[in-house]
Amino acid sequence: MSEHKVETHPPSDEFARNAHADHATYEKMYADSIADPDAFWGEHGKRVDWIKPFSKVKNTDFTYGQVDIKWFEDGTLNVASNCIDRHLKDRADQTAIIWVPDEDDGSDQHISYQQLHAHVCNFANVLKKMGVGRGDRVVIYLPMIPQAAYAMLACARIGAIHSVVFAGFSPDALSQRVNGSKAKVVITADGGPRGGKVTDLKGNTDRAMEKVEHDAKVLVVKRVGDGVRNWVEGRDHWLHEMEDGIGDTCEPEEMGAEDPLFILYTSGSTGQPKGVVHTTGGYLVYASMTHQYTFDYHDGDVYWCTADVGWVTGHSYIVYGPLANGATTVMFEGVPTYPDAGRCWKIVEDHKVAQFYTAPTGIRALMGKGNEFVEKHDLSSLKVLGTVGEPINPEAWNWYNRIVGRGKTPIVDTWWQTETGGHMLTPLPGATTTKPGSATKPFFGVKPVVLEPESGEVLEGGDVEGVLAIADSWPGQMRTVYGDHERFMNTYFQQYKGFYFTEDGCTRDADGDYWITGRVDDVINVSGHRMGTAEVESALVAHDAVSEAAVVGVPHEVKGQGIYCYVSLMAGHEPSEELKQELVGWVRNEIGPIAKPDFIQWAPGLPKTRSGKIMRRILRKVAANEHDQLGDTSTLAEPEVVDDLIENRLNK
Ligand code: WT7
């Protein structure tokens, strides 16, 4: 680890005074949540409306071979009525969703809770008419349009299980997910506009359906209106035609707390993507409580999470958490750089966004475009900034803090996973002293432990480094892998008995703050020294000329693994041998001699999934000169960047 002096940013007194939790409140609530989870969650479980109240709170077992997780198990509720109906009394006319389309043409829509109710009931009735009922699966393959939220909530209303597939995924990935869940209906759109280009979602769905082995219908939302090339009579239905005269009342189904709410596929280090299953009661309690506390959400705030509903972040923090809290949530169809790199800041200004939540990769990309795109907008509405998805390097954190937050907006670096349903390690903006790059402290009810990776021994105290595991269940935890409970146990509970294993490495410092170092499969071992690729990346991007860097291990005869760096430059900097040497020296200086890069390859672009995650698997193969074994590249946002990397690879 590098020995940088760590900056600390305590919450301001003013912020703390008005926050849901100041430091003392956090400490007290956290201690209570750990001392008596039944009492704590029994109380906070009441934040959602139950049809039949629960009498049992926690019933969970992490024992390998018999893992079983139940929360509030005898309670009944409906998620859609919690996200909509219960708000109609007080806030029927309040905006529930602000929809911002891809084109910056002033056609943003405000959808009130009353309107949301009608849309969702309509949609639910359409699904019923198509034969969907309790427990049936529905695949949602939509762009970021309000109908994506309506579809999710409509499923929840009638007790169907949705499986949202990111609209950037290929037909193959879609067909796997339709087959995997034997979905009765696939909901798509005629097209998905993003960054000025339109994806032919209906065309992709047609191709996916060729590989679907059971009878499934296709419901098509008209987004673009340019017509569709192919229409299968009997299988394909337009939403607007189905909705005609269907009626906008639909009684919510009474669901058990442990009935599945959704399946969401996520990739692991091995095998095909897993269908992560989240259930009804615990998930909603956890998503709504984390949304309120982590973002310090207050009535009247406009909240914006830039994720896509195709990811868990979109589920928990665009749709379920905010709507359960009666919030106003922004849904943005486009990308941060279209029509220019000021788009996000224009949206913040236009809608007076109070909480803004995005990924470090996005922050770094915008940072590289220059401050003028930020500075020309009025961002005075911002109260809290959030990040998620990967470790954030201190330079990006500082830029976010200084340039976007004007030095006075707390940053919450939220660590969590598809599997965890909601935030696990995060600052609370009125309570926690933040440090650039640290996800700081556990959320209520979360018991993180640092384990010695080989022995599994629990490392106590400060200044320890190991793998991150969680010692006990929390309400938002995934319950199983869809159709494969064995795989669930083997993936998360086998390696370290009695713990949920996160597959992340981490350190805990002397203040008890957690620092995620990245997936343990991204840890490289150089001459017996363990090093997070994120550490080297962080060093590289600390250099003025570098906008983004990805680092992988590469087989090395002497050191075991060497360090291979892919580097993208800031506008105005040109690749040169001189700059390369400068960067090698820079990293050596920043971290130490063992971190000296073996290779620096100039990369005009990095291979990313459509959610912005760098696909290191591909980078490792190219670095290892094994580009003939790249494996599945169908989830890449821009497959062409790989060709450039292969052509200019250095380890031939
Ligand atoms: C993995 C989970 C859950 C939201 C989006 C990603 C990494 C996530 C952080 C953070 C460092 C982070 C971890 C984790 N990660 N947030 N704040 N700091 N790393 O969900 O696709 O399930 O990925 O993302 O490695 O295990 P996901």
- Which CATH number does the domain housing residue 610 bear? 3.30.300.30
Question: Is 338 domain-assigned?
Answer: no
Within 10 A of 267 (CB to CB), how many other CB atoms are there?
A: 16
Name the token pair of 158: 């009638």
Residue 446 confidence class, pLDDT cut points 50, 70, 90: very high
Distance of CA 155 to the CA centre of its chain: 21
Ligand 1 atom nearest to 613, measured from its CA: 21
Q: What pLDDT score was predicted for residue 271?
A: 47
Q: What is the DSSP letter of 85?
A: G
Residue nearest to atom 2 of ligand 1 (CA): 417
> Does pLDDT of 468 surpass 70?
yes
Task: Compute the distance from residue 389 Cα to the ligand 1 centre, in Å.
Answer: 4
- Count up the domains in the chain and report the number: 1
Average pLDDT over residues 261-281: 82
- Ligand 1: does its nearest atom lie under 6 Å from the Cβ of 415? yes
Q: What pLDDT score was predicted for residue 172?
A: 76
> Does pLDDT of 1 surpass 50?
no
Residue nearest to atom 10 of ligand 1 (CA): 415
> Does pLDDT of 528 surpass 60?
no
Burial 315-347 (b: 16+ CB within 10 A, else e): bbbbbbbbbbbbbbbbbbbbbbbbeebbbbbbb
Ligand 1 atom nearest to 414, measured from its CA: 17
- Ligand 1: does its nearest atom lie under 6 Å from the Cβ of 439? yes
Distance of CA 401 to the CA centre of its chain: 21
- Ligand 1: does its nearest atom lie under 6 Å from the Cβ of 414? yes
> Does pLDDT of 245 surpass 80?
yes
Average pLDDT over residues 130-153: 98
Residue 2 confidence class, pLDDT cut points 50, 70, 90: very low
Q: Determine the Cα–Cα distance for residues 342 and 591; give it in Å rounded to an integer.
A: 34
Residues 526 and 599: beta-carbon distance below 8 Å: no
Order the strands of the 137-140 sheet from edge to edge: 236-238, 217-221, 185-189, 137-140, 161-164, 260-266, 274-279, 480-481
Q: Determine the Cα–Cα distance for residues 400 and 391; give it in Å rounded to an integer.
A: 14
Q: Which of 317, 393, 416 to mutate to test the pocket of ligand 1 (most atoms within 8 A of CB)?
A: 416
Q: What pLDDT score was predicted for residue 272?
A: 62
Query: Could you tell me what percentage of the chain is helix, strand and coil, using 3-state DSSP and rounding each to the nearest 5?
Result: 35, 25, 40
- Ligand 1: does its nearest atom lie under 6 Å from the Cβ of 390? yes
Q: What pLDDT score was predicted for residue 523?
A: 62
Q: What pLDDT score was predicted for residue 531?
A: 65
> Does pLDDT of 524 surpass 90?
no
Phi, psi of 557 (to 5 degrees): -60, -40
Name the token pair of 237: 């239905």
Name the token pair of 272: 């095909």
Residues 566 and 560: beta-carbon distance below 8 Å: no
- Measured at the CA of 137, the angle between CA 136 and CA 141, to 5 degrees, comes to 150
Residue whose C-alpha is closest to residue 341's, from 169, 142, 547, 200: 547
> Does pLDDT of 527 surpass 70?
no
Residue whose C-alpha is closest to residue 322's, from 576, 508, 96, 120: 96
Residues 651 and 564: beta-carbon distance below 8 Å: yes
Question: Is 611 domain-assigned?
Answer: yes
Task: Compute the distance from residue 416 Cα to the ligand 1 centre, in Å.
Answer: 5
Average pLDDT over residues 617-635: 88
- Ligand 1: does its nearest atom lie under 6 Å from the Cβ of 313? yes
Q: Determine the Cα–Cα distance for residues 517 and 538; give it in Å rounded to an integer.
A: 11
Q: What is the largest CA-CA distance in the chain?
A: 73
> Does pLDDT of 560 surpass 80?
no
75-85: pLDDT as tens digits: 999 999 999 99
Q: Which of 417, 420, 425, 609 to mutate to test the pocket of ligand 1 (most atoms within 8 A of CB)?
A: 417
Residue 535 confidence class, pLDDT cut points 50, 70, 90: confident
299-354: pLDDT as tens digits: 999 999 999 999 999 999 999 999 999 999 999 999 999 999 999 999 999 999 99
Ligand 1 atom nearest to 519, measured from its CA: 25
- Ligand 1: does its nearest atom lie under 6 Å from the Cβ of 421? no
Residue 623: give the domain boundaries: 527-648
> Does pLDDT of 269 surpass 50?
no
- Measured at the CA of 357, the angle between CA 571 and CA 538, to 5 degrees, comes to 45
Most confident of the ranges 20-29, 501-510, 559-568: 20-29
Q: What pLDDT score was predicted for residue 640?
A: 86
Average pLDDT over residues 399-425: 96
DSSP for 153-187, written as a single string: HHHHHHTPEEEE--TTS-HHHHHHHHHHHT-SEEE
In the chain, pLDDT over 90 holds for what percent of residues? 81
What does pLDDT average to over the chain? 93
Question: Is 598 domain-assigned?
Answer: yes
Where do we find the tokens 């340019």? 226
Residue 195 confidence class, pLDDT cut points 50, 70, 90: very high
Residue 108 confidence class, pLDDT cut points 50, 70, 90: very high
Ligand 1 atom nearest to 416, measured from its CA: 3
Give 460 or 589, the one with higher predicted confidence: 460
- Ligand 1: does its nearest atom lie under 6 Å from the Cβ of 519? yes
Q: What is the model's pTM?
A: 0.85
What ipTM does the predicted assembly reach?
A: 0.99
Where do we find the tokens 């100041």? 22
Q: Which of 504, 522, 533, 538 to mutate to test the pocket of ligand 1 (most atoms within 8 A of CB)?
A: 504
> Does pLDDT of 140 surpass 50?
yes
Question: Is 566 domain-assigned?
Answer: yes
Q: What pLDDT score was predicted for residue 615?
A: 87
Residue nearest to atom 17 of ligand 1 (CA): 415
Residue whose C-alpha is closest to residue 529's, from 592, 606, 473: 592
Q: What pLDDT score was predicted for residue 303?
A: 98
* Range in 189-198, 360-369, 398-407, 423-432 with the lowest mean pLDDT: 360-369
> Does pLDDT of 213 surpass 80?
yes
Question: Is 582 domain-assigned?
Answer: yes
Residue whose C-alpha is closest to residue 122's, from 162, 88, 80: 80
Question: Is 644 domain-assigned?
Answer: yes
Name the token pair of 249: 């009342």
- Ligand 1: does its nearest atom lie under 6 Å from the Cβ of 612? no
Q: What pLDDT score was predicted for residue 538?
A: 84
3-state SS, one letter per residue, for 515-531: EEEEEHHHEEEECCEEE
In a 3-state reduction of DSSP, which class is residue 470?
A: strand
Residues 354 and 303: beta-carbon distance below 8 Å: yes
Average pLDDT over residues 386-412: 93
Q: Determine the Cα–Cα distance for residues 611 and 390; give it in Å rounded to an integer.
A: 12
Q: What pLDDT score was predicted for residue 464?
A: 96
Q: Determine the Cα–Cα distance for residues 155 and 309; give it in Å rounded to an integer.
A: 15
Distances (CA, A) of 295 to 21, 106, 302, 441, 565: 11, 28, 11, 15, 35
Ligand 1 atom nearest to 313, measured from its CA: 4
Tell me whether residue 551 is exposed, middle or buried, using C-beta atoms within 10 angstroms of its C-beta: 0 to 12, 13 to 18, 19 or more.
buried
> Does pLDDT of 3 surpass 50?
no
Where do we find the tokens 């010695």? 452
- Binding site per annotation, positions: 194-197, 313, 389-391, 413-418, 504, 519, 527, 530, 541, 543, 546, 588
Q: Determine the Cα–Cα distance for residues 322 and 307; give it in Å rounded to an integer.
A: 14
In the chain, pLDDT over 70 holds for what percent of residues? 96
Ligand 1 atom nearest to 502, measured from its CA: 26
